[in-house]
Each structure stands twice: as C-alpha cells, then as structure tokens.
Structure 1
C-alpha cells in the first residue's frame, strides 16, 4: 500500500488492529499536529499574558495532573495491557467487561475528585502554591478532571485493541476545541487582570477535554458494532473471571502505576513550588521568580518535550505489543519490539538534541520572543536524549508487568533532583541553572536504572551498531551542516525563521539520507508503516 492509499484509508476512519510502527506513525502524526497547534496557541498567548501569566498557569497544571492521576488510578495502562492479552486469546466478551468495570470506576472517581479539586481551590492556591491569583485558574480547570478521567479509559481500551486512530482523532478534536475556546475567552478578558486571562487557558482545557470525550464515545459506538459479531459467536468460557476478580486485577496492576505517576506529578508539583521559592531565596522577587519559572516550564520544557510526540506514540503502541508477546511467550518478538522502540527513539532524539544545543536562543526568540530562555534550553539539551529513552524504557517495564520497578526508579530520580534544586538554585551565581542540572540528573539516573532492570529481565543483548553507531555517525553531519547552512541563509536574507527552517530541513534530510545509505533505515521499516 502506498502513502496516498494509507492516508486515504486513515481519513475514512477504518478502525483496525495496527502494527507497532503503524500505531506509532498514527499517534506521531496526531501528536505533531497537536504540538504545532499548541505551540501556535502559546506563541499567541505569550505576548498577551507574558511569562508571568504562563508561569501562573504552569503552577496550577502539575496539581491538576496529580489529581487526574489519582482519579484514573492507573487503569488506562492496566486496561490496555489486559485487553491486549484477551484479544490475543479471542476473548472479546471479557475485554468489554474490563471496559465497563473501568468506566464505572472512572465515572465515580472523576466526579468525586472534580468536586474536591473545585471546593479546595482556595486552599491549594493560598497554602500550597502561595499565590492567591491561581484560585480562579484552579476552578476553571476543575471540570476537565472528570472528562479526562473517563476519556483515558476509552483510550486505554482502544490501545489494548491496537487501534491508535481513535486516540489520535480525539486528541486533535480536543486540541482544536481548546485553542478556539481559549482565544475567545482570553480576547474577551483583555481589559481584566492577568489571572483572569490565565483562567481562559484553564477553561479552554475543560472544553477541549469535554469534546474529546464525546468524540471517543461516538467512535466506541462504531467499534462496538464492529465487535458485535465476534462477541455473539464467542462461547462463554469457564475460565472467564468474575467482575470482582477482574476489578481486583486491574487495581492490583494499576496501583503501582498510579504511585509512579504520582511521583512524576509530584516532581512537577515540587518544581512548581520549590524552584520559585529557592529563586526567591537567591534574592529574586516573587514576580521575577515566577517569570524565570515560566521560562523554564512554560517555554523551554515545552520545546524539549516536543519530540515526545514520538516517544509517547511509541509507548502507547509498545505497552500492548509487549504484553501481547509476553502472553504467548514469544520472547524473540518481544526483544525485536524493544529494540525497534529504542531505535526509533534514538534516531528521533539525537537530531532534536543537536538542534536545541546549536540554536537555543534563536529557537526561543522565534517561538516566544524570549531569547534569554535560550541559555536554559542549551543546558537542558545535554540530557534530553535520556528523557526520551526513559519514557520508552518505562513503557517496556510496564508492558512486562513490572510497574513497581518504574516507581522505585522514579522515586530515586526525584530525590536526586529535589536535593540538587534545593541546594543549587539558592546560590546567586547558579540560580535557575541549578534546577536544570537537577532535572537533567533525574533524566540520566532514571533512564539508566530502567535500562538495567529491563536487561535483567530479558537480557542486555543489543545491536550496538544499529542503535548507536549509525545514528551518531549521521548526527555528525548535522553538527557540521546546521551552523553553516544557518549562517549562509542569514547572510542572504537576515531572517531568523527562514534561516532556521533551511538549516534544520537541510540537516534532517542529510541525516535521514545518511541513515538510509548506511542501512540505519531500511525499506522493510517503511513497508511496516504503510502496509
């Protein structure tokens, strides 16, 4: 099947089971569209509400994510894994029972935590965040808790079926809705104070999550009809478990995932609380500390997390794929999928890290009009490849049924980060760079620990040449060509956008061509995506 036919098929929304590469490709395209739209929104918002307004919202968001994690209780990943195992064994009826049980739980917890979040907005704003301006933002984003909790269950179910298209479509619908609602509200509040305008961003998220959920429900109704024939022809098995047993299994698997995600969310919450506080200890005012934190979390981290559209896509496809291989004891396929995921991550992560390191100020100036944030981007670029790897490695461990190891490793990384932030950021000659060093240290430590854990489980044997030597060789081309192309383009047009675009495009094309020539990317890889 050629690219045209594949895209045509995707547009007609023909839901079917997809391979690891196909699922990754679909989620990657959706993620790319969402990130471009999200960056467009942020580029519009920064001149309006500034770094301080972005900082206010970024202080609220980690708290919101923590509540969302607790409300979902790790069930999205659990249902993805268990449904994948059941579908492999043609147990469609039990797959739907898993969905129903998870939905009942999500409807209950989503409602409860949304009300708790809304009613305690004043306490969170004044006692935890020490910023009363965040109260209204917290209330504006509270309804999104319910919608995101229920949506995550549907997405986990579809991913377990190895259908990534529903997730991709709902994410795009969600993002478009968020942008429209946010811009309409922010524009109507231009004459009001900054925290009212930042609340517009929160309300946009709530509206986007609501429409995204509606989209998933409509898609499920279509898929449910397609599954009906398989369910009616399936005979009830004596080995089928009771609803109580299924729920216990979901909770047992989901609990360590929840703890792990809480640790990750706690990390962001601690950053939102600790970094501004330690910057104040270094002599900065509250406003300046909020602005600096806004540069780190609302600008630089948004940039370095852009390539995670690939790692998130890989992980979403990888967990059910690993679970499927494990359920039938196909360790050969399991290792192949593991190495395939690592290869995709390294091949995408290296050029991103190089680009961030070579053009940090130019990128921050182009996207946000804050070239001063470039110093932070240049420093954090040294460790971003470990960020991308740790996401994949965590997904592999969850697919192997070892989420508890992910939790332990994440806690170790968090402790190291907090220690470094606490003692380094307060030093006036280090300041915000101390927070960056703490974040990078966490990336490296957690990635290494996850890699060791996987190696102990399935072996350390890796294709070093394919995974590391070939992409490093191709990356050398980018190190030489990117600066030269940028300078040549700048001399001709004196335009940062054109110069960056030509430099990055030239570098990426050369990088990919070299990988194709030396066998890093093969026709077999392309066939697995488009066939």
Structure 2
C-alpha cells in the first residue's frame, strides 16, 4: 500500500470515526429522551411510536438515503476537480428534493387520520400531523449532508445530527413534562414529545445551510471547467436517488410495517385491542430501540463514509484500490457486528432492565390468561433481533458498496425482496397464536438474511471478486461465538451470586443489571480481542486502518500476534 493510499484509508476511517462518535452521542441522548418518556407515557408509548416510526424511516433516509446519491455524484465530480459541477449538483438537489418534501409533508398532514385509524392507532393523528413538516426539512437537510459527505467532510452531518438529538431531548421532553403536569391526555403528551423532533430537524437543517454560507474552506482543486447541464444532473440525480432512497427507506420500512400490521393482525386473532397495544409498545419501545443502537452507531457510519472513497477511486479508474476498500469495509463491518450480535442474544434481559427498568409499563394479560410484564415480552424479542444485527449491518455496508460502484438498482432488488418476504411472514406468523408478537422480529431477521445473500451475489457478479464467507468471517465468528458463550455463563453466574449476596436486592434491578452487564460485557470484549489476535483473525492492514493503527500493527507484528499480509480477495 503506497503512502497516498494509506492517507486515503486513514481518511476513510477518520470519517467513519467522526460519524460513529456522533452516532454514539445521538443514541445516548436518544436514550436519555426515551427512558423518562416511557415512564411518563407507559403503555401509551404506542401512540408516540406510531408517529416515531415514520421519523425513524425519514432519519435513515436523511442520513444514508438521499445523501448517498448526492455524495456519490459530488465525490466523482470533486475527484476530477469540477468545482462548478459540484455546485450545480447541490443546487439541483435542493430544488428537486425540496419539491418532493413539500408534497410528502402535505400528504402526511392531510392523510394522518385515515392512516392512524387503519393501523389501529387512532390517538396518534395529532403526533403524525406535527411530525409531517420533517419530510420537507429532511429532504433539504439530505441535500447538504450529501454535498458535504461527497467532499469527505463528515463534521456538518455529525454536528447537525447532534443538534437534532439535543433539541429532541430538551424541547421534546420538556414539553411532554409540561403537558403531563397540565393534565393533558396521553395523545397530546405524545404530540408534544414529537414536537421536539420537528424543531430539532429544522435547527439541524438550518445549521448546515449557515455552515455552507459562511464556510471559507476550499475542498476542490479546480482541474476542469467542464460541467454537466442541469437537465442531465437532474436526470442522473433521479436515476441514482430513487433506488437509493427506496433501498434506504425499505430497511426501516419494517418498523413502519410493524406500526401498520401488529395491532391489526393480533386483534384479528382474538387478542384484545388493549393487549395488542401493550405488546406493540413493549416490542417497539424496548426491543427495537436497543437492537438498533449498535448497528446505527458503529456500522452505518462505515457505510456512509466508504461510499465517496469507493466512488472516487472508480472515477479515477483505480479498480484495485476500490476492491481493497470494498473487502476491508465488509470485513470490518462483520468483525464489529458479530460480537455485538452473539453477545446481545444472551444479554437482552439485563440490557432492557438497565436502560428501561424491569418494571416498565403496565402488566399485560395474554390471551392464555397469563399476566406478564413488558420485559418478559421484550427480552426474548430482543434476543431474536440480536441475530439480525450481523445481517443488517452487512446489508447496510453492501448497499453502500453497490451504490458506490454504480449498481444503484441492485440493493433495491435485494431489500425489496427481503421486505416482501417480511410482509408475508409477519402477517402469517403474527396470526399463529403460539408465536404471536414474536413473528415480527423473526420476519425482520429473515428479511435481512435474504437482502444480504442477494447483495453478496450481486457484488461477486458485478465486480468479479470472490467474497467467500469462510475466509471473510469464519475465524471472527468462532471468536465471537466463544465470547457469546462466555456472556451466557458469566451472566448466569453473576445473576446467581447477586441473588445470594444481596437477598433484599432485585437481580433484575438497574443497579444489579449495571454491575452484571458491565463485568460481563468488558470480559467479553477483552476475550474477543484476545481470541482475534491469537487466531490471527484480523490482519495488520486492517489494524492499520484504526486510529493509531500503524503503531499498534507494528507492535503486534513484533510480538508475533499478527502477520503482515492482506486477507483481501483477489480478482477473478
């Protein structure tokens, strides 16, 4: 690897690190928002979640949907030094996406009532109407995010995300507390909570507009005055943005489909509306929020930052470099996702207990007559979703890679097929009484597996590279599996010891969950790193991509813990 290539690789990891840190901060703020909110609304969180599922899908579009399309075009033009063309791409993006945003906002505002009634969430009408302006705001924000990401400046995206999250916490939670103190209904309180999201998106968008206006930084060395006409830019933007946006939104469409389907199908099997609402609230508020925490914080930034790197390399016809980025990003995504997935399978209950409390919500009376708490439903559902963390993480990365290589329609086919399978399975499984609510997470995992399988096939076919799962992930999987077994044994021992040593303390309480989870998770992390090194499951070149990686790689090589060679697949 040449010095210039090392710098570019380092840049890619720095960009991913910026978005990862921002994503982590955003998720922490999100938890600080949701924990008290769930205590205020209780089982009525279903009202908030019905509207929030729309926001979650829009947030994914705004951070890795529309910006991906724009960043790909901007990156290709910037690599060739076409400054005027880059400016025209931004201008056309704002106009085109702004019009789409206005239409979508008006549609949601005026059709909120039939949508809420049909999904059996009639109390969510006001919340849906309050969140409707975010469709327009997110479209404008997407144009600026894509512009800066294409120029490989991740700071505006990271800061705007932080602004959104902070305003959501301060304004949304503050408004909810005020509404609660005034004695307003739960539906109105949920609407006040949503108002913080809308204001946060507006201020995040405003920040990027002002940053663009006042920034003096020069990103491009002008090499060419050639530029595409606006008509051609618009055409290419639509051809790229449409499939990318559909793909991005489809991954979060599963949560939106949960809003539409869960209550409707469960009540159709004889479950009371109150019970169906409580099951939906437990699943969406507890299970989904935690399962989404790890991939959105650690993996999605890799997908976002790798796209301009691959697109830029291909624009300069540097295929070997592009292939290196492709394989490295898949490997790194898998190496991070595997332990997250396998360990969370066994730590779902203490994770929920720590974050939301074991006594969250009201007791739920099942059709069998058995009375359970929300955690009794959410914990096994989270264990199922944990299986999908590995698959959805790689789906996000491979989606970005296919889009970066110009195959923007292929991810749409993959994810579309997965979502179709999800709909069929979810309707079928939710209707089977012994499975019930657990049909939702099972369907989601199957969706991710199908999408990943198709994406890998498309990458092999279009890029003429070998991506053998055994070479890519066998050793990391074994290391992660051993760490997962350690988590299971360690948690069981910790739970039993706490029960014996602190007889008057609930082992499902927040303090117990924190201590047991902290010791178990730290042990699992160190065990995983140790196993990865002694089995040489990670290469020196991959370690070099990490912050301070060159020094670490040199140290590990001298110790004999790493071999100085690539695990990159060769061209066929």
- TM-score of the pair, normalised by structure 2: 0.83
The equivalent of 2:115 in structure 1 is 124
Shift of 1:280: 0.9
Corresponding position of 1:161: 151
More divergent stretch after superposition (436-445 vs 471-480): 471-480
2:516 to 499, 502, 518: 499
Counterpart of 1:397?
Answer: 402
Residue number in structure 2 paired with 1:9? none
Correspondent of 1:49 among 41, 53, 57? 41
User: Of Structure 1 and Structure 2, which has the larger fraction of its residues in helix?
Assistant: 1
Paired with 1:73 and 1:30, the residues of 2 have a C-alpha distance of 14
Q: Distance in 2 between matches of 1:60 and 1:471?
A: 39
Partner Cα separation in structure 2 for residue 477 and residue 505 of structure 1: 14
Asked whether the 8 Å contact 2:97–2:143 carries over to 1, the reply is yes
User: How far does residue 64 in structure 1 lie from its aligned partner after superposition?
Assistant: 5.1
Contact 2:254 2:444 in 1 (8 A): no
The match for 2:232 is 245
Tell me, in whole angstroms, the C-alpha distance in 1 between the residues paired with 2:173 and 2:350.
26
Q: Which residue of 2 aligns with 1:177?
A: 167
CA distance in 1, matches of 2:547, 2:347: 34
Long gaps (5+) in structure 1: 1-15
Report the CA distance between 1:529 and its aligned residue: 4.0
Question: 1:45-83: per-residue Cα shift (whole Å, max 9, x none)?
Answer: 111111x32222222234456778999996422211011
Cα distance change on mapping 1:242 and 1:378 into 2, 3 Å: same
The reply on whether 1:236 has 2:240 as its aligned counterpart is no
**Distance between the aligned counterparts of 2:471 and 2:301, measured in 1?**
21
CA distance in 2, matches of 1:428, 1:93: 61
Q: 1:117 to 1:175 in 2, by over 3 A?
A: same
Label 1:511 to 1:68 Cα distance change in 2 as closer, same or farther (>3 A).
Answer: closer
Whether 1:83 and 2:74 are equivalent positions in the alignment is: yes
User: Which moves more between the two structures, 84-93 or 213-222?
Assistant: 213-222
Whole-angstrom CA distance in 2 between matches of 1:17 and 1:227: 21
Q: Point out the more displaced range, 337-346 or 466-475.
A: 466-475
Distance 1:73 1:336 in 2: 22
Select which of 270, 276, 282 maps to 1:289.
276
2:217 aligned residue: 226
**What corresponds to 1:436 in structure 2?**
441
Distance 1:339 1:374 in 2: 34
Distance in 1, Cα, partners of 2:455 & 2:449: 10
CA drift at 1:460: 4.1
Cα pair distance change 1:17/1:207, threshold 3 Å: farther
**CA–CA distance in structure 1, aligned partners of residues 426 and 469 of structure 2:** 35
Indicate conservation of the 8 Å contact 2:65/2:247, yes or no.
no
CA distance in 2, matches of 1:135, 1:397: 38
Comparing 447-456 with 414-423, which one deviates more in the overlay?
414-423
Tell me the number of residue pairs that the alignment of Structure 1 and Structure 2 aligns: 509
Partner Cα separation in structure 2 for residue 522 and residue 451 of structure 1 = 22
Question: Equivalent residue of 2:293, what SS?
Answer: coil
Q: Is 1:371 matched up with 2:375?
A: yes
Q: Partner of 1:106 in structure 2?
A: 97
Match for residue 6 of structure 1? none
How far off is 1:115 after superposition? 3.1
Aligned mates of 1:170, 1:430 — CA distance in 2: 41
- What root-mean-square deviation, in Å, do the aligned CA atoms of Structure 1 and Structure 2 show? 2.6
Deviations 1:321-359 (A, max 9, x none): 221122122221122111111112111111111222112
From 341, 351, 371, give the equivalent of 1:353.
Answer: 341
**Residues 499-508 or 417-426, more deviating:** 417-426
Secondary structure of the equivalent of 2:394? Answer: helix
8 Å contact from structure 2 (residues 164, 203) kept in 1: yes
How much does 1:91 deviate? 1.1
Q: Structure 1 length as normaliser, TM-score?
A: 0.89
Determine if the alignment matches structure 1 residue 302 to structure 2 residue 289.
yes
Task: Find the aligned partners of 2:280 and 2:409 in 1 and give their Cα distance.
Answer: 31
| Unaligned runs of at least 5 residues, structure 2 | 1-7, 358-373, 503-511, 549-572
